[in-house]
Amino acid sequence: MGGYILAIDQGTTSTRAMVFDSQMRVAGRAQREFPQHFPASGWVEHDPEDIWHSVVETVRLALADAGLGAKDIAAIGITNQRETTLVWDRQTGAPLHRAIVWQDRRSAPICEALKRDGLEPVFTERTGLLLDPYFSGTKITWLLDHVDGLKARAERGEICFGTVDSFLIFRLTGGRRHVTDATNAARTLLYDIGRNGWDAELAGLLGVPLAMLPEVLDCAADFGVTDPALFGAEIPILGVAGDQQAAVIGNACFEPGMMKSTYGTGCFALLNTGTDRVASTSRLLTTIAYRLDGVTTYALEGSIFIAGAAVQWLRDEMGFIKVASQVSALAEQADPEQRVYLVPAFTGLGAPWWDAEARGAIFGLTRGTGPAEFARAALESVAFQTLDLLDAMQQDWQGHDGRTVLRVDGGMVASDWTMQRLADILAAPVDRPLFLETTILGAAWLAGARAGLWPDAKGFAERWHRDRRFAPGMDAPEREAAIAGWRDSVRRCLSA
């Protein structure tokens, strides 16, 4: 057995694989994009075979990049886009429908019907989630209602449901294991996060036969070994976590009060609340941050749909920049006298508003407003939205005093200007890590620690290094005026 760890990050638009050496340094890497399917308005699908091939290919390429073979790899860690829903044949492993992606809204009527029946509180109480099509549960209901014969076969135990991790493990182990981890299970609307088990009553309400659900393991556990035919030797799969939870781990947010925020296309902020399961009164989610040695650590989660996507909008629709990295320089040129606000509710607003009907708007335009003010407003909108999440978190978690340090990751944190403005608006320090690929590192750590090769959580946290701390520098009246302007702009965008 070799001393290397291989980690797979199966994301929404691409799959990455990385090989890490025993010093947790990257020894090889590969990345592949795969097609997105939009068969109807609001529908988003992936072909499970595309996902599967991208995983096998990136693993092989990362091994080749490192100049290693399967025998050199001690363990695999997997992290994945969450909530995306797959069903497949237990005998053959053949998918029975395309994967329904987390962004897909088709099950909105199912959610509305359950809400009309007054059932949201029971789902929220047990799962920490809201009745929203984002989560897997109502996507499974839709599949059972629309794929011919699926329901009867699922009741007979012939069908497997799984999130992407579960499907990949099934395939990687040659169909021997139908398992998932606690963080992925926590995103289904079927899993009681307090009791740590599938909830038969909720499954009944969604019409989901229990026979199709995977076994739920800790994040660091024995998930099976890979079929030797795939990579040339068996490799144990020892770590699994949903991607936002893996970023909590990779950013070493192991202490209650520590928070990470990932700025990619959207933004997902998770605040570690320790073994306290904090119920949100501000429509944040309560979720499992990780479960290790049978002990569950919880988090409050807020999701923002548009973060880096606002930069893409400036580039692709407005044509103000050619590449994303030009946005900071443009924002710096903005006129400090102009107060321009962009509310990027392009696909509605996420937490804490959850307003699917809200649409974007720009406020404060004058004759002198140009691309620079648009750029500044787009970047600032990310900071203001993070502030809304942080405020909601503080309101929800009364036991927690004061602002925490925020650890950040994701493509957008390359922008120093944005990170500085984030610290200014939050009036809190923002820490950017030296190693920015925290999601895949988190998955690698789960596997490496379980294999006994990498340090424990404490030792791993000591190895986390800061690239730079952005300290807040805006004076209070300016900050308050800016925040008041943002709040007013959001109010004007809400649908009701």
Ligand X SMILES: O=P(O)(O)OC[C@H](O)CO
List, as residue ranges, the binding site for ADP: 12, 16, 265, 308, 411
- Tell me which of 31, 196, 312, 369 binds ligand ADP, using CB under 6 A: 312
Residue nearest to ligand ADP (CB): 411
Query: Do residues 189 and 292 lie in contact, with contact meaning Cβ atoms separated by under 8 Å?
Result: no
Task: Return the one option of ligand ADP, ligand X, none that residue 311 interacts with (CB less than 5 to 8 A, by type).
Answer: ligand ADP
* Cα Rg, the chain, nearest whole Å: 22
Q: Which residues of 265-300 are buried (b: 16+ CB within 10 A; e: fewer)?
A: bbbbbbbbbbeebbebebbbbbbbbbbbeeebbbbb
Of 142-150, 241-249, 356-364, 411-419, the segment contacting ligand X by CB under 6 A is 241-249
Q: Does 243 bind ligand X (CB under 6 A)?
A: yes
Strand-pair partners of 240? 78
Instruction: Compute the least distance from the CB of residue 187 to ligand X, in Å.
Output: 7
Q: Which does 81 bind (CB under 5 to 8 A by kind): ligand ADP, ligand X, none?
A: ligand X
361 binds ligand ADP (CB under 6 A): no
How near is the Cβ of 291 to ligand ADP at its closest, in Å? Answer: 24
Q: Of these, 96, 220, 270, 311, which contacts ligand ADP (CB under 6 A)?
A: 311
In the list 324, 361, 365, 461, the residue contacting ligand ADP (rule: CB under 6 A) is 324
> Is residue 265 involved in binding ligand ADP (CB under 6 A)?
yes
The backbone torsions φ and ψ at residue 70, rounded to the nearest 5 degrees and listed phi first, read: -60, -30
Among 412, 425, 446, 449, the residue binding ligand ADP under the rule CB under 6 A is 412
Answer yes or no whether residue 81 interacts with ligand X by CB under 6 A: yes
Contacted by 128, from ligand X, ligand ADP, none: CB < 5 to 8 Å by type: none
Task: Return the range that interacts with ligand ADP (CB under 6 A); candidates 272-280, 335-343, 366-374, 406-414.
Answer: 406-414
Please count the residues of this chain forming the interface with ligand ADP, following the rule CB under 6 A: 17
Residue 119 found at the interface with ligand ADP (CB under 6 A): no
Q: Phi, psi at residue 312, to the nearest 5°?
A: -65, -35
Which residue lies nearer to ligand ADP by CB, 63 or 309?
A: 309
Pick the stretch among 87-95, 221-229, 350-358, 408-416 that binds ligand ADP (CB under 6 A): 408-416
21 Rama class: left (phi>0) / alpha (psi -120 to 50) / beta = beta
Select the residue interacting with ligand X from 4, 20, 52, 102 (CB under 6 A). Answer: 102
11 belongs to the binding site for ligand X (CB under 6 A):
yes
437 binds ligand X (CB under 6 A): no
Could you say which of ligand ADP, ligand X, none residue 251 binds, taking C-beta under 5 to 8 angstroms by partner kind? none
Q: Annotated binding residues, as ranges?
A: 12-14, 16, 82-83, 134, 243-244, 265, 308, 312, 411
Whether the CB-CB separation of 388 and 423 falls below 8 Å is answered with: no
Site for ligand X contains 82 (CB under 6 A) = yes
Among 78-86, 177-185, 304-312, 450-458, the segment contacting ligand X (CB under 6 A): 78-86
Q: State the binding site for sn-glycerol 3-phosphate.
A: 12, 82-83, 134, 243
| Dihedral of the alpha carbons of 397, 402, 405, 406, in degrees to the nearest 10 | 50
By CB under 6 A, tell whether 12 contacts ligand X.
Answer: yes
Among the residue ranges 218-226, 342-350, 360-368, 405-413, the one whose residues contact ligand ADP (CB under 6 A): 405-413
Pairing state between β 237-242 and 73-80: parallel
410 interface partner picked from ligand X, ligand ADP, none, CB below 5 to 8 A per type: ligand ADP
Q: Which of 77, 264, 350, 442 binds ligand X (CB under 6 A)?
A: 264
Q: Identify the residue among 162, 308, 344, 350 touching ligand ADP (CB under 6 A).
A: 308
- Residue 325 is a binding residue for ligand ADP (CB under 6 A): yes
Q: What residue numbers does the annotated binding site for glycerol cover?
A: 82-83, 134, 243-244
Single out the segment in contact with ligand X by CB under 6 A; choices: 91-99, 125-133, 237-245, 424-432: 237-245
State the residues that interact with ligand X by CB under 6 A: 11-12, 81-83, 102, 242-244, 264-265
State the residues that interact with ligand ADP by CB under 6 A: 11, 13, 264-265, 308-309, 311-312, 324-325, 327-328, 410-412, 414-415
